Amino acid sequence: MLLIFDLDGTLINSKKDLTISTNATREHFGLPPLDEETVGSYVGNGVAMLVRRAMGPDATEELIESALQYFMKFYRTHAIENTRLYPGVRESVQELAAEKHKLAVLTNKPGRISFDIIGALGLGDYFMRVYGGDSLAGKKPDPVGILTLMQEGAARPEETLMIGDSAVDVQTARNAGVRSCGVLWGFQPETFAAFPPDITVREPRELAGSVGLLLNT
């Protein structure tokens, strides 16, 4: 199968570094800090939307653009200071790769930073592609990322699975006509109430078994 993973909240716990970068940006523009759970709820639709949400509804477009530039400069420097793989992710990725599944990352985080994080955490050799929100013509929930990866991986829809922690990932899978797997350890599993995935897993070690079950259905 072609297994397409979201990044933040699925493979990596990046909430602390995202919060630090968000609050550094808010402080630079004279705003008080936000807590990690609030910042985590802003993640999933790309950095521009994260910054827009973090700056608040009264922020002007000019302010948002300046804040985005500040955030990106800060985050590039601090993106992996506290970011870690979720427990069990490394072993699950290794197991799935050993079973000859094709693995890819599709995230709305910028592509260069995403690629660097995957490499720094020692998973670069396992993924055939790492696509970010700026890698293709559209970002999730636009299906272009999944459709491109299916073409590159020579995978049919029934051989493709999108794995992520939020409704955005489920919507992307539906838009591409493929199945979805929701992980319950990430940033926004509560959003599955509105967009239920085809299957859910409670911890990374369940991934290989769940993929095996899908292969037999």
What amino acid positions are annotated as catalytic residues? 6
CA distance 217 to 207: 16
- Inter-axis angle of helices 15-28 and 61-78, to 10 degrees? 130
In Å, what is the CA distance from 128 to each residue of 8, 124, 149? 18, 9, 9
Sequence-distant (6+) residues with CB within 8 A of 98 are none
List the beta bridge partners of residue 183.
Answer: 201
The crossing angle, in degrees rounded to 10, of helices 144-152 and 167-176 is 60
